[in-house]
Amino acid sequence: MESLHLTLKQEPIAPLEAECISPTGFLGKSADQIRRLPLLHGKDRVELGEFFDVKGDSQAGRVVVEGDLARVKYLGCAMDRGTLCVKGPAGMHLGERMAGGTIEVEGDVDDWAGAQMTGGMIRIRGDAGNLAGATLPGEKQGASGGCIVIHGDAGNEVGASMSGGLVVVAGDCSDFAGVGMRGGILAILGSAGRRAGAGMADGVMVCIGDLQLLPTFVYSCTYRPVFLRVLGEHLRRVGVTGMGVGGSTPPGRVDELYRRYVGDANDRGKGEILLCQSENTA
């Protein structure tokens, strides 16, 4: 497939803010025009061509960025179409306020991945930092749509204040997962840290591994939620097998019993935490 290739020439010594690097930002631009797009290196305004080799054509809507991009921020920010492939680690604010398209990252990603996203899909093959799919400082609402799949672990406050969409963490989460959730689904296939679901007003958190519940969550029942099967089928289609249907590898989790808790009673209390019975025996 025809695509535009950006290769990092030199590692930035300060954070490089590259909001324009996305299929949306490159739409209708030639390679020369793309090389002249402005980036912010620390406090200095620089041209994209100073840090990246640019080859190929962006018309097909596929952009590939290669290199150690751990200090490159805002990759795929506000993108609404196309595919962005990041081959290497990515910096903060990847896919922030994203509305459509797909971001594939073959590495770890720093904080605020997919923060306040409204649509599209982010797949992170490595670990994610803090606040994936969460809200930005000073804002009230986190992700309201789209899907974030983290194949590794996630940091603190994953899905904080999210109001819609789906965040899947195939590994473990640190503290305050789903804090202040207003909607959407946060699926943790590993374990969650302390105070998961604190201030949860609505939405669903599913946890396969250990989760220390706050006392402000109330037990409802133990059952097999049918909607988890729909979720499991969806996850299977997006390449996450840890919750797949029976017969998949690892064994499907959707056939198991789940303990349902509602809360947080300190807030509206319409949130829901589903704990896999076989993994949470406490």
Partner 1 sequence: MQINGVRIDDAASEAYDLVGTRVIITADSPELACAAAMNFTGYATAVAACECEAGIEGPALNTTTPDGRPGVAVLFFASTQENLEAQLVARIQQSVMSCPTSACYSGLASETQIAVGTGLRLFGDGWQSDIVLEGKRYWRIPVMDGEFVVEAAFGCAAGVGGANFVIFGEALDAVLAAGHDAVEAVAGVPGVILPYPSGMLRSGFRLGSRYKSAPVSTYAPLCPTLRGRSESSLPDGVHAAVQVVVSGLGIDCVGDALRAGIRAACRRRDGVAGITAASHGGKVGPHKVELHEVLQLPGDSDTLSEEEF
Residues lying near partner 1 in the complex (CB under 8 A) are found at 145, 164-166, 184-185, 204, 221, 223-227, 229-234, 245, 254, 270, 272
Closer residue to partner 1 (CB): 69 or 185: 185
- Rounded to 5 degrees, what angle do the CA atoms 96, 101, 105 make? 65
In the complex, the smallest distance separating the C-beta of residue 255 from partner 1, rounded to whole angstroms, is: 10
| Bridge partner residues of 149 (DSSP) | 123, 168
In the complex, the smallest distance separating the C-beta of residue 165 from partner 1, rounded to whole angstroms, is: 8
In the complex, the smallest distance separating the C-beta of residue 229 from partner 1, rounded to whole angstroms, is: 4
* Local structure of 259: helix, strand or coil: strand
| 29, 32, 37, 39 alpha-carbon torsion, rounded to 10° | 140
Closest of 241, 234, 163, 239 to residue 201, by C-alpha: 163
Q: What is 49-64 written as a DSSP string?
A: HHHEEEEE-STTSEEE
CA distance 161 to 197: 10
Closer residue to partner 1 (CB): 43 or 237: 237
Contact 127, 152 (CB under 8 A): yes
Alpha-helical (H) ranges within the chain are 31-35, 48-51, 226-237
CA distance 39 to 270: 43
Closer residue to partner 1 (CB): 84 or 204: 204
In the complex, the smallest distance separating the C-beta of residue 272 from partner 1, rounded to whole angstroms, is: 8
In the complex, the smallest distance separating the C-beta of residue 226 from partner 1, rounded to whole angstroms, is: 5
In the complex, the smallest distance separating the C-beta of residue 181 from partner 1, rounded to whole angstroms, is: 13
Match 């406490």 to its residue by tokens.
Answer: 282
Query: Side chain identity at 25, as an amino acid letter?
Result: G
CA distance 61 to 68: 23
Closer residue to partner 1 (CB): 179 or 187: 187
CA distance 244 to 228: 10
Closer residue to partner 1 (CB): 14 or 257: 257
Closer residue to partner 1 (CB): 113 or 243: 243
Closer residue to partner 1 (CB): 199 or 232: 232
In the complex, the smallest distance separating the C-beta of residue 234 from partner 1, rounded to whole angstroms, is: 5
